[in-house]
Amino acid sequence: MTEEQRAASDPAATDERAEELRSRLEEARAEAERYLNNWRRAEADLANYKRRAEQEREEMKRYANASLIINILPVLDDLERALGSLDARLAGLTWFDGIRLIARKLQAVLESAGVREIPAEGQSFDPRLHEAIHFAEGEEGKVLAVAQKGYTLHDRVLRPALVIVGKGKPAAEEGQASQQESQSNG
Amino acid sequence: MGRAIGIDLGTTNSCMAVMEGGEPKVIPSAEGERIVPSVVAMSNTGERLVGRPAKRQAIVNPENTIFSIKRLMGRKFNDPEVQRALKFLPYKVDAAPNGDARVWMGGRSYSPPEISAMILQKLKMDAEAYLGEPVTEAVITVPAYFDDAQRQATKAAGEIAGLNVLRIINEPTAASLAYGLDKQGEKIIAVYDLGGGTFDISILEIGEGTFHVRATAGDTFLGGDDFDNRIIDWLVDEFRKETGIDLRQDRVAMQRLKEAAEKAKVELSTLMQTEINLPFIAADASGPKHLVRTLTRARLEQMVADLVERTLGPCREALETAGLRPDQVDEVILVGGQTRMPLVQETVRKFFGREPHKGVNPDEVVAVGAAIQAGVLKGEVREVLLLDVTPLDLGIETLGGIMTTIIPRNTTIPTSKSQVFTTAADNQTSVEIHVLQGNRPLAKDNKSLARFILDGILPAPRGVPQIEVAFDIDANGILHVSARDKATGREQKVIVQPSTGLSSEEIERMKREAELYAEEDRRRKEEIELRNQADNLAYTAEKTLREVGDRIPAHLRGEIEDKVRRLRDALAGQDITPIRRAMDELSYTLQQAGAAVYGQQAGVGQEPPPGEGPGRGPEGTVEGEYREV
């Protein structure tokens, strides 16, 4: 109380006190601004998080099987390789027909899960779907042969088809020229 | 204003991350991968390809496929490093008029920053598609040994890609940020980065939030690919010894070997042995040949021991430059996929005499750190609010002494929740709200926090009044409970201070007991619920007789009265079997009566059957679950 009286009687002290209050108000305002800002960010974060979580749940549903399927594909490859290199002595056995049916069943299961084979042989080489592992004489830019089949799950490439791509006629200068060029760098 | 992302622009692969909800998050590419190959190509059809598709056509289009551009960034053509790189780069590199190295692709020359910009542009586009908003700013990482020209070139690449480069930071610094090592005072940090094709060791000194690079060393031609090649060599040799066939002549077989070798390497980081199983890998006159080998972790470690050992030379060199002994290093961080290998971790641990940090995915740790830096620069990493959770369920006692949870345990506070309850008896004018804390299903086993009465409820049949009970826990852990009669607006509240709650020992004890008695509690709760149902059924039967009794045939009416009496008798007893039997009998007769009434009058004027609310309880108890919120 005495302090207030003194403050009232002393203009300098009043100014000082006003100044102090002003700066305290300033601080409080700045703090409020900061909190409001953080709050807005937290709300925005939550909104974004919800949206993303929803998106990811959808993705998850669609591609949940992808990692399992990717590991099953080599088994299918091997089975197809086995069937493809069939010995004539075995071909007639009904036992072997059974094995063929098993392979077909596996394919059907994968297909029903949304797995599709990527068309490759005879197509134009497309690096979004095909992976080139070799060059060979043949129509330029076309897939001449498939070394390993590629597959998509829904609209995503699970694994590209490994293909051999044509590089044009054997006499074509182009292919050789570029090879020399790359060697000349070495 | 767009988002800011962190980008690890690597020699072989790049990775990006963003701060989201205060946490760094790796952004997958449009192809759904967490890393993008740092490859750019001009296809034979004149299309520009970036990332995975560019890599897939590299073999058939080598002179127009640019990889390892980072090795040329900001360097002159006559730089020894550039000359060394030329030996394995199949595309054309020459000197620009100013002496800088430049590359040729699709018949045009490009500066290295232009090529890097194409990679950054793809990352930017994929990030925008993922985030659903524009990305305008980025923090990009570079190796600690990059000089000013190389940093400028990297920055220029970002700008060409349309990114405002907030900052260029060192890769080891980013890795340290990802582990939060910037907040722990002065320290010496060693960052051991063994990637796909290069090895880097950096010694950092950190203090007051600043990073100082004390020394760097490395081997620009040592990486995970060398490890894969050792396995491939071994498989090829073994197969030749066994069959005489050289698989190197068969590209398809080599492709299969490469995939199998990498898979085996990855598996041996967690397993002690794995099988490499490649049937029909080749064939000769005698028929198909299969390659089946078991590879143990020990055998793999023998194969690559010298490669791992080779990383220690640069480590010694860097320490020497920094003027430090290994034991003066406070923290060791592992970066790069190859550091997942236990032998690498063990070697690093022995060399520095301490356990390396390895919690963050080593392929992503640099991008994660860059994203954190971007977040800090953009003010997105705000002061951390420590949020508490409620350790035990909070709820009220309902009919039959059951604990009805309002706020379940482990809910982050502050939070609030409400639920509507109703009365348990006709003309009940007051309810008691008994606030409980604990995980046991029965009220008496939990801790009582408070009790209060809400009165002045207008007389009405049971189940009609709506009493909203609201729980609110504020940021200080103080619980506010209120009960409000929706019809009259009358309200009562109580505030429970956290001090009247439980000590942490009590909480632990209660959690233990809840587990211990779970089965017994469940049985007791079931019994109470059955009794509530039985009581409700009797009540319904009596009400039906009262309201539409005149339309029920006399013999059924008598039967119902009789069976209600028997059910009430059963309820008075201890055994639940007779209760169940009496309930079945009564509901059967009630159905018959219902059919008779409907038969007379096709349902007109019938009141819908009363809700699921259980039966009558001791006066004043809130009846359970007349849920509508």
Chains A, B: CB contacts under 8 A, how many?
A: 90
Q: Is residue A43 located within the same domain as residue A85?
A: no
pLDDT tens track for B460-507: 888 888 999 999 988 777 889 999 998 888 898 888 875 445 667 777
> What are the tokens at B89?
């780069």
Report yes or no on A185 lying in a domain. Answer: no
Prediction pTM value: 0.70
B612 pLDDT above the threshold of 80: no
- Measured distance between the N- and C-terminal CA atoms of chain B, rounded to whole angstroms: 39
Residue B184's pLDDT is 77
Q: Is residue A46 located within the same domain as residue A15?
A: yes
Q: What is the number of structural domains in chain A?
A: 3
Q: Is residue A109 located within the same domain as residue A93?
A: yes
* Residue among A41, A85, A148 minimizing CB distance to B288: A85
Residue B592's pLDDT is 83
| pLDDT > 90 in chain B, percent | 50
A157 CB near a chain B CB, below 8 Å? yes
Residue B382's pLDDT is 56
Residue B604's pLDDT is 41
Report yes or no on A134 lying in a domain. Answer: yes
Q: Is residue A140 located within the same domain as residue A127?
A: yes
Report yes or no on A48 lying in a domain. Answer: yes
The angle formed by the CA atoms of residues A144, A79 and B247, to the nearest 5 degrees, is: 60
- A81 and B53 within 8 Å at the Cβ level: the answer is no
Final residue of a structural domain among A113, A133, A148? A113
B3 pLDDT above the threshold of 80: yes
A15 pLDDT above the threshold of 60: yes
Final residue of a structural domain among A45, A78, A113? A113
Report yes or no on A178 lying in a domain. Answer: no
* Residue among A125, A147, A185 minimizing CB distance to B89: A185
* Residue among B54, B57, B283 minimizing CB distance to A85: B283
Q: Is residue A133 located within the same domain as residue A107?
A: no
Residue B252 has, within 13 A of its CA and on its CB side, a CA count of 16
Residue B570 has, within 13 A of its CA and on its CB side, a CA count of 26
pLDDT tens track for B355-395: 999 889 999 999 999 999 999 888 765 555 556 777 788 99
pLDDT band at A55 (very low <50, low <70, confident <90, very high): confident
Q: Is residue A108 located within the same domain as residue A130?
A: no
pLDDT band at A168 (very low <50, low <70, confident <90, very high): confident
pLDDT band at A7 (very low <50, low <70, confident <90, very high): low
Report yes or no on A53 lying in a domain. Answer: yes
Residue B601's pLDDT is 54
Q: Is residue A48 located within the same domain as residue A84?
A: no
Report yes or no on A176 lying in a domain. Answer: no
Residue B542's pLDDT is 87
| pLDDT > 70 in chain B, percent | 93
- B59 and A38 within 8 Å at the Cβ level: the answer is no
Which chain A residues are Cβ-neighbours of B54 within 8 angstroms? 127
Number of H helices, E strands in chain A: 6, 6
ipTM reported for the complex, 2 dp: 0.71
Which chain A residues are Cβ-neighbours of B23 within 8 angstroms? none
Residue among B284, B281, B223 at smallest CA distance from B253: B281
Region B216-222 average pLDDT: 91
pLDDT tens track for B534-555: 888 888 888 888 888 888 888 8
Higher-confidence residue of B182 and B242: namely B242
Closest-CA residue in chain A for B278? A78
pLDDT band at A6 (very low <50, low <70, confident <90, very high): low
Q: Is residue A126 located within the same domain as residue A167?
A: yes
* Element containing residue B578 per DSSP (H, E): helix B577-601
Q: Is residue A72 located within the same domain as residue A55?
A: no
Q: Is residue A57 located within the same domain as residue A69?
A: no
Proportion of chain A in helix, strand, coil states, percent, rounded to 5: 60, 20, 20
Report yes or no on A95 lying in a domain. Answer: yes
Q: Is residue A32 located within the same domain as residue A48?
A: yes
Report yes or no on A164 lying in a domain. Answer: yes
How far apart are alpha carbons A44 and B490 in whole angstroms? 37
Cα torsion through B604, B606, B611, B616, rounded to 10: 180
Q: Is residue A46 located within the same domain as residue A92?
A: no
CATH of the domain at A141: 2.30.22.10
Q: Are B337 and B195 in contact, with CB atoms under 8 Å apart?
A: yes
A186 pLDDT above the threshold of 60: no
pLDDT tens track for B133-171: 899 999 999 999 999 899 999 999 999 999 999 999 999
- A132 and B90 within 8 Å at the Cβ level: the answer is no
Which chain A residues are Cβ-neighbours of B60 within 8 angstroms? 125, 132, 135, 165, 167
pLDDT tens track for B13-35: 999 999 987 789 999 999 889 99
Q: Are B63 and A181 in contact, with CB atoms under 8 Å apart?
A: yes
Which residue range is the domain that position A57 belongs to?
A: 3-62
* Residue among B20, B61, B255 minimizing CB distance to A147: B255
Which chain B residues are Cβ-neighbours of A186 within 8 angstroms? 86-88
Residue B319's pLDDT is 95
